[in-house]
Structure formats: C-alpha cells, structure tokens
C-alpha cells in the first residue's frame, strides 16, 4: 500500500481559485463519500483558506491520482488542462513528509502559525466520522499532529507569529496611522472575534461589529466591549467608517457594489479601506473597480507576513529535525505492515503443523493423564515459538531497508508459503 496526496495551496493557486475549492463541513462530507464511492478505501481531506489537500492509500497510485484530479476538475466544471498547473502531487514518503511540514507550520503562509494543527485534526476527525479514515491515514495524521505539537513546544517556531487578523491590522496601520480611525468588523464568529482583539491590541478601539444575525453581533460586541450595528443599516454604516474588515464563512460575497454605491463614499476625504480575510471572499471582486475604495484580500497580506518571517526563520532547521524523527518512525511502521501478514501466516503454518503432531502423539499415548497431556501441548508450542523467534525478529528488523522484501521471498520459499502474497515496494516518484 502506498500514500498519495493531491493538493493546491496559496503558493500554487490564487484566492479566486482557492475559494472555489474551499469545502465547508457539508461539502467536505460529500467529497469524502464521493471519493469513497470512486474506490478510494481511505481518504482524509484538509480544507482551509490557504489549502485543499486530499490524502489516500492505494495499491495503484496512478489510478488514485487520476481519480482525485478528475473529481476536483469535475467539481468545478474545469478541464484538467486548466486545473493541472495549480495542483501538486506527492507519493509515499514525500506525501507523509509534506503533511508533517503542514502540521508543523512550515508550509503555512504565516510561518509557524498554530491554527493549522487544529485544521489537520479536524480533517482526520471528519474522515473518521464518515468512515473514510482507515488505519494507515489515522496513523499518519496522528504522527503529523504529534510532530506539529513537538515543533511548537520544543522550538520557537510559533513565537512572534502573526495571525491573519494581526496581519490585517498591520496592513491597515501601513495605510492609516491614526489610531482613532473608525472600523467596522463584519462577522460574529471566531475570525471576527480575533479581528476585534487584534485591533484592540493595537489600541484601535473605535470599533463596530455587524452580522447578518443581529443577535450574534450584539452578543459578541457586548463580550468584547464594542458597538453592534444593525445589518439592515449596512450601507449607512459603510458610509460612516474608515476601514472595513470582513471575516465570515459566507459562501457568497456579502458586500457588493450596490452596498458601496448606497454608502455615498464620494463624501469621504480618504478612500474606504476594505480588508477581506474571509474565504470564500466576502467582498465582490468588482468592488475593486470602484472609485474611492481600496480593497485587499488574503493574498495581499503576503508582504506583511514576509516582514515577520525572519523572526522565526532560524527555527526551521530544528523543526525539520523533529519531522525527520517522526517521519522515520512512521515509515518504519508502514514497512513493518508489509511483513506482519507474512509473520502471521508463518506462525499459523507452524501452529497447524504442531497441532497435527500433538494429536498424533496423544493418540499414541492414550493412558497419560490430563496434566501430562498439557505438558506435551505446551512443549510443542514452546518449540514453535523458539524456532520462529529469530525469523520474526529478523523480518521486523529488516523493515528498515528494502532488503526485507528479499528476505520475505526467502522465508516463503523455505517454508513453502504462498509466494504471491509478497508485495513489492513502491518507489517514491
């Protein structure tokens, strides 16, 4: 069995494409079920604002790659030709290594950020809930989560990290230095809460919170000590503020051109600054064409993020050492799975022969008592265990090298076991 990964992320796909492939809970559940129906026995999907990655376990990597890429293209009515430049694929060891790098924050837009480890855990939980997370992917994801936790406790990779919300605030401060600016935060979930707290941490306190469900906005506003605005007055509020941060999980844009036209922005002395940290994007793309508006999305935060990357750059080598340790342990476990069926088969073969000899011996000794019978039975089992101990230990130890396949062939030939059950190694591409 081999690992296969197909994905896209912020390095290979712009936000306009990533938002099309973002999977909320219901869509993710549907994708797992669909891929399982397509013949993939184990499937785990990691879906975030910056990446979509599909992991599977297979005996036919080429077919699995084709199944996943076809599924992705069809899901958005795209041709494979158009989608292919934005995809990356990994197989075997490199697929496992990539997941550990993701979980450790090395592949994140914000180096070392901690949110990804929860998102990786969510992917595994969804797969297990929908019965697509089998033993191999469960073991891999558990190892990746352990690597991520070690990276954050044993190194400084997560110190001084920026959240997306903090990066948005720094972008705002680069544009407007006045702390008395009026800010509207759109949303009432975790992202909106983090955005308000990031503003407050930078001494920006003239904040209003608005959400399509007014009660949620009021509850969060009360909790954070800011004002709540009425959704029915969205256009009016847009005309009164200097900055808007949108932070919702809405599938469709919630701020559109007509809202800003109604806001009478021509009365502003400075352009209205719009920072969209939602994915899918919360602000319609054509808003960027309006006069007196400056619109930024997640991809525009790249320069802000890169400015803080150097603070943690020196920790990358330490994190990679942790990943190497966890990767080696996982790959040894994977390789040991190749010989477990052989060891089991060898033991069953030996036990069956022993049982025949036990029965023949007991038939020849009809007058012995039960205690003596038990001595004969136990003696036979001890002989089996002692004879199989060295082959078993050697088989397991040789899983560290591809030579264990040659050794497995030899064992099967010596003991007349089914040669067809030897699975040859699949090399990384």
3-state per-residue secondary structure call for 186-199: ECCCHHHHHHHHHH
User: Which element (helix H / strand E) includes 46?
Assistant: strand 42-47
Show the tokens assigned to 172.
Answer: 């705002």
Question: How confident is the model at residue 335, as a pLDDT?
Answer: 81
| Three-state DSSP class for residue 245 | strand
Backbone φ and ψ for 328, nearest 5 degrees, come out as -60, -40
Q: How deeply is 281 buried, as exposed, middle or buried, from its count of CB atoms within 10 A (0-12, 13-18, 19+)?
A: buried
Closest to 32 (Cα-Cα) out of 129, 144, 135, 137: 129
Vertex 26 angle, CA 23 and 27, to 5°: 40
Question: How far is the C-alpha of 276 from the C-alpha of 191, rounded, in Å?
Answer: 11
Side by side, the strands of the sheet bearing 243-246 are 227-228, 207-210, 183-186, 243-246, 272-276, 293-296
At which residue do the structure tokens 């809460």 appear?
193
Q: What is the pLDDT along the chain (429 residues), one digit of tens a residue?
A: 899 999 999 999 999 999 999 999 999 999 999 999 999 989 999 999 999 999 999 999 999 999 999 999 999 999 999 999 999 999 999 999 999 999 999 999 989 999 999 999 999 999 999 999 999 999 999 999 999 999 999 999 988 777 899 999 999 999 998 989 999 999 999 999 999 999 999 999 999 999 999 999 999 999 999 999 999 999 999 999 999 999 999 999 999 999 999 988 777 778 999 999 999 999 999 999 998 899 999 999 887 887 777 767 889 999 999 999 999 999 988 887 777 778 888 889 889 999 999 999 999 999 999 999 999 999 999 999 998 888 888 777 766 665 556 777 777 777 777 654 444 444 444
Catalytic residues: 49
pLDDT of residue 373: 93
In angstroms, rounded to a whole number, what is the distance separating the alpha carbons of residues 124 and 131?
10
Task: Work out the burial of residue 144: count CB atoms within 10 Å of its CB; fewer than 13 is exposed, 13-18 middle, 19 or more buried.
Answer: buried
Q: Has this prediction a pTM greater than 0.85?
A: no
What Cα–Cα distance (Å) separates residue 414 from each residue in 43, 200, 342, 357, 422? 38, 73, 13, 20, 14
* Cα 7 from Cα 91, distance rounded (Å): 12
Q: What is the DSSP string of 257-294?
A: HHHHHHTTGGG-SSPEEEEE--SS-SB-GGGGGSTTEE
The gap from C-alpha 69 to its chain's centroid, in whole angstroms, comes to 18
The Cα-based distances of 35 to 26, 57, 65, 264, 429 in angstroms read 14, 12, 12, 49, 23
Domain ranges of the chain: 2-160, 164-304, 335-421
Tell me how far apart the terminal alpha carbons of the chain are, to the nearest angstrom: 15
> How much is the pLDDT for 231?
96
Fold of 164-304: Rossmann fold (3.40.50)
Residue whose token pair is 């292919």: 84
Instruction: Decide the pairing of beta strands 51-58 and 42-47.
Output: antiparallel
CATH class, domain 2-160, is alpha beta
């Amino acid at each position: 069995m081999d690992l296969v990964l197909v994905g896209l992320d912020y390095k290979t796909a712009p936000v306009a494409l990533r938002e099309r492939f973002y999977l909320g809970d219901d869509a993710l559940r549907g994708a797992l079920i669909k891929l399982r129906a397509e013949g993939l026995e184990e499937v785990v999907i990691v879906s975030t604002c910056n990446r979509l990655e599909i992991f599977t376990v297979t005996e036919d990597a080429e077919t699995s790659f084709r199944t996943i890429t076809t599924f992705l293209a069809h899901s958005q009515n795209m041709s494979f030709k158009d989608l292919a430049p934005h995809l990356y694929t990994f197989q075997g060891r490199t697929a496992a290594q990539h997941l550990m790098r993701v979980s450790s924050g090395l592949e994140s837009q914000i180096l070392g950020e901690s949110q990804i480890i929860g998102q990786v855990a969510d992917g595994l939980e969804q797969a297990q809930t929908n019965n697509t997370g089998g033993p191999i992917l469960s073991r891999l994801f558990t190892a990746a989560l352990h690597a991520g936790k070690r990276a954050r406790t044993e190194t400084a990779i997560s110190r001084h990290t920026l959240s997306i919300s903090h990066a948005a605030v720094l972008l705002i401060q680069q544009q407007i230095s006045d702390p008395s600016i009026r800010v509207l935060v759109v949303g009432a979930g975790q992202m909106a809460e983090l955005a308000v707290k990031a503003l407050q941490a930078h001494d920006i306190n003239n904040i209003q919170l608005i959400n399509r469900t007014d009660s949620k906005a009021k509850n969060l506003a009360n909790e954070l000590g800011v004002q709540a605005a009425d959704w029915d007055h969205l256009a009016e509020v847009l005309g009164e503020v200097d900055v808007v941060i949108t932070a919702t999980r809405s599938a469709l844009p919630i701020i559109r051109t007509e809202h800003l036209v109604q806001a009478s922005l021509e009365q502003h002395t400075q352009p209205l600054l719009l920072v969209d940290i939602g994915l899918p994007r919360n602000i319609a793309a054509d808003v960027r064409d309006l006069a007196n508006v400056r619109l930024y999305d997640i991809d525009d935060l790249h320069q802000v993020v890169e400015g803080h990357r150097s603070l943690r750059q020196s920790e990358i080598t330490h994190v990679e050492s942790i990943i190497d340790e966890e990767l080696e342990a996982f790959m040894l476990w994977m390789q040991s799975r190749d010989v477990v069926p052989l060891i089991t088969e060898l033991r069953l073969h030996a036990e069956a022969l022993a049982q025949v000899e036990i029965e023949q011996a007991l038939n020849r000794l009809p007058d012995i008592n039960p205690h003596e019978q038990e001595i004969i039975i136990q003696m036979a089992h001890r002989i089996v265990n002692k004879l199989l101990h060295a082959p078993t230990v050697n088989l397991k130890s040789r899983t560290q090298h591809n030579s264990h396949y040659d050794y497995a062939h030899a064992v099967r030939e010596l003991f007349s076991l089914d040669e067809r059950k030897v699975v040859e190694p699949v090399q990384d591409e």
